[in-house]
Structure 1
Amino acid sequence: MGINLNESEKENKIFSYEISNEAKSLAEKYGYSDYIVERYIKLLGEEVIDLLEFNEIPMPQTIRCNDFLVSCDELEKRLKNKGIKIQKIPFLPHGYEIIESPYNVGATHEYLMGYYYLQDPGSMLVVYLMNPLKNSFIIDMASAPGGKASQILQLTKDSVKLVSVELKKARIKALRSNLQRMGFSSYVILETDARKLSLKNSDMILLDSPSSGEGIIRKDPKRKRSRPRSDMRKIHLLQYQLLSKAIDIVKPGGEITYAACSTAIEEGEFVIDRVLNKRNVDTIKVDSPIGDKAYEEFNGITFDDRVKNCIRLWPHKHGTEGFFICKLRKEEN
């Protein structure tokens, strides 16, 4: 049973929990930082081995059919004729898994024509759950390399006013290339720190936040040890600042979709808990075909009850990258 603590006490319990001998042993065996494994144990209990073992299996390639340029039936035929075997992902309208391919699927004629985008199922699901509305003003606060931005434009038939924000100049080239390759034009790209945005009154905001990347360990095993524990406070603060800015610039009644490609409480539930206690927002229940309810407590602390409306995706349970997804609505003045 959790207890209610002030913010400083919560931070200490979230960022400074003790590491058990079990976590140290498993971390050494599987090559992780021990604080990550300790968190897994606290969150998953006996399932921790299932996750650690599943993370040893390489991530399959998955694609999103771009039906703005080609029907998915036509794309299926084209890929089949090339000897590329694909399988529909049941819970994603445009999602397919590559079962077998004699070619690099990131270099086919169809890829270069913009007929599909290489994208993880969890990443695709974020935008479906966001449910972008046609003819709306949308800001994508961390846009490169453009997977979710292009999906927003695809689902709205290129009808929205999309502002794609990216801090790093080196990543803007890929962002622009992907949006152009896939046939879209209803966007502008801003090279800036999203925390400094002066835009106002957007209808919807997507914040696929910079994160530790713990959710992509199957794709990038270096993530097992790439972040010292001290980084988690810095990442959490950045995410909180970005989400606070999103609340500032969305219109009253507007929606924010927050996502982090991470299994860390520090980057999910605790970020949402802080904004719920400090800002004029409420959560919207995420109605997803897959996913677990977000955690209501961790290490003896209780989060705001509304955090339970968010969801988590786990690799070993849902076959996706690890993700935290939450929808927020700014309250009317």
Structure 2
Amino acid sequence: MSTIENYIKKYDKIFTISPSVKAVELSRKYGFLDYMVERYLHLFEDEAEDFLYSCNFPLKKSIRCNTLKTNCGELVSRMRDKGFELEKVSWLKHGYVIKRMPSKPSLGATIEYLQGYYYIQGLASMVPAYVLNPSASDTVLDMAAAPGGKTTQLSQLMSNKGLILAVEKSRLRITPLLSNITRMSALNILLIRSDVRTLEKTKLNFDKILLDAPCSGEGLIPIDQSRKTKTSISDLKNFSAIQLQMISIAYKLLKKGGDLVYSTCSIAPEEDEMVINFAIEELGMKTVKISGYPAESGIIDYNGISFNEEVSNCIRFYPHKNGTEGFFVCHLKKCE
């Protein structure tokens, strides 16, 4: 039995969930699967219904100004002329919330959008690239690159210098990824359509790695209501197994002393802290405390399971607390 299989077996209790009467009542009221609501009662306790209620409302639209193509002040001015009111987000260097929009054009149909002056991106989704903080001399791996929001953001932070190897295995997703890379004028990206596992057979290694892992998308319920009932507990377990495999690959490809940022658009501890706990206890990685963001700390105790205290250095975003999509970000370092 592999290390990952043993680990999943060790923590199998986390996937055993018996919905309470209260969870069933709330699941019917808000249209969620009852096992999901039982987990939210563990996560949020008295604030669980606040979270469920908040998921019924769309999030404010937000964009990332692309300084590879324009000055942000100029972008704000040009968008104002079209009837858009942009408000700077204090904790994101290039992030803006759309406070007012005209009936036409839509946010994705302006000349500025088509010219790559901005990328339509969730606020919390912008955080991983800032946490990774790549320099112009780094060699960076983006392990699951499509549709390209974080990939092109990395390119922007590197001023189109250094090298980003962007990997995407899906033929369907590679087209919009390439389109966004071109539109945003991200020139330091080498794009590969392949399963990232093929890189294990090479001698490649990287200064920094971004693993925005494939996940259930449980943090995107305010954007996509179908996610209230889309993911079974079995599906969640399968996602967790994939994420454990991917973080193991990331560890092998990362240089000693290198940085790995792991993120998901999920609030599920099964996809978040459980995976980071594996990186700490099985791979010997260390977490780096993330600060400067209006977010909650990583969860140490969940559903009768206790994780390594280092997972508290990770951060979580929630719609009812932070006004963003549900999101998880953790900064890991490969020890010397």
CA contact (8 A) 2:91 2:292 kept: no
What amino acid does structure 2 have at the position aligned with 1:260? T
Equivalent residue, structure 2, for 1:105:
107
Equivalences for residues 208-223 of structure 1 within 5 A = 208-223=212-227
Equivalent residue, structure 1, for 2:26:
26
The offset of 1:91, in angstroms, is 1.1
2:143 counterpart (107, 127, 141): 141
What amino acid does structure 2 have at the position aligned with 1:14? I
1:82-135 alpha-carbon deviations (Å, 9 max, x no partner): 111221112111111112222211010000000000000000112111211222
The offset of 1:7, in angstroms, is 4.5
2:303 counterpart (294, 299, 306): 299
What amino acid does structure 2 have at the position aligned with 1:225? T
Relative to structure 2, which stretch is displaced further, 259-268 or 13-22? Answer: 13-22
Relative to structure 2, which stretch is displaced further, 197-206 or 258-267? Answer: 197-206
SS of equivalent to 1:230: helix
SS of equivalent to 1:25: helix
What amino acid does structure 2 have at the position aligned with 1:290? P
- Report whether the alignment pairs 1:72 with 2:76: no
- The sequence identity of aligned pairs, in percent, is 41
Equivalent residue, structure 2, for 1:158:
160
CA contact (8 A) 2:297 2:313 kept: yes
What amino acid does structure 2 have at the position aligned with 1:241? Q
What amino acid does structure 1 have at the position aligned with 2:100? E
What amino acid does structure 1 have at the position aligned with 2:243? Q
1:137-194 alpha-carbon deviations (Å, 9 max, x no partner): 0000000000000000011101120001101011111111111111121111111111
The offset of 1:8, in angstroms, is 5.8
In 1, distance between residues paired with 2:34 and 2:196? Answer: 32
Equivalent residue, structure 2, for 1:179:
181
1:230-273 alpha-carbon deviations (Å, 9 max, x no partner): 11110000000000000000101101000011010100011111
What amino acid does structure 1 have at the position aligned with 2:259? E
2:267 counterpart (263, 266, 269): 263
Equivalent residue, structure 1, for 2:3:
none
Equivalent residue, structure 2, for 1:95:
95
Equivalences for residues 162-241 of structure 1 within 5 A = 162-198=164-200, 199=202, 200-241=204-245
In 2, distance between residues paired with 1:156 and 1:233? Answer: 36
Alpha-carbon distance change, 7 to 185 in structure 1, aligned in 2, over 3 angstroms? closer
What amino acid does structure 1 have at the position aligned with 2:326? G
Equivalent residue, structure 2, for 1:323:
327
SS of equivalent to 2:270: helix
In 2, distance between residues paired with 1:268 and 1:195? Answer: 21
1:18-68 alpha-carbon deviations (Å, 9 max, x no partner): 211111111111111111111110010010111111111112211000111
SS of equivalent to 2:11: helix
- Report whether the alignment pairs 1:57 with 2:57: yes
- Report whether the alignment pairs 1:283 with 2:287: yes
What amino acid does structure 2 have at the position aligned with 1:326? C
Residue-pair matches, total? 327
Alpha-carbon distance change, 10 to 297 in structure 1, aligned in 2, over 3 angstroms? farther
What amino acid does structure 1 have at the position aligned with 2:225? P
In 2, distance between residues paired with 1:299 and 1:182? Answer: 43
SS of equivalent to 1:267: coil
Alpha-carbon distance change, 219 to 8 in structure 1, aligned in 2, over 3 angstroms? closer
Relative to structure 2, which stretch is displaced further, 138-147 or 56-65? Answer: 56-65
SS of equivalent to 1:286: coil
The offset of 1:10, in angstroms, is 4.9
The offset of 1:17, in angstroms, is 2.2
Segments of 4+ in structure 1 off by > 3 A?
6-10
The offset of 1:196, in angstroms, is 2.7
CA contact (8 A) 1:139 1:163 kept: yes
CA root-mean-square deviation: 1.3
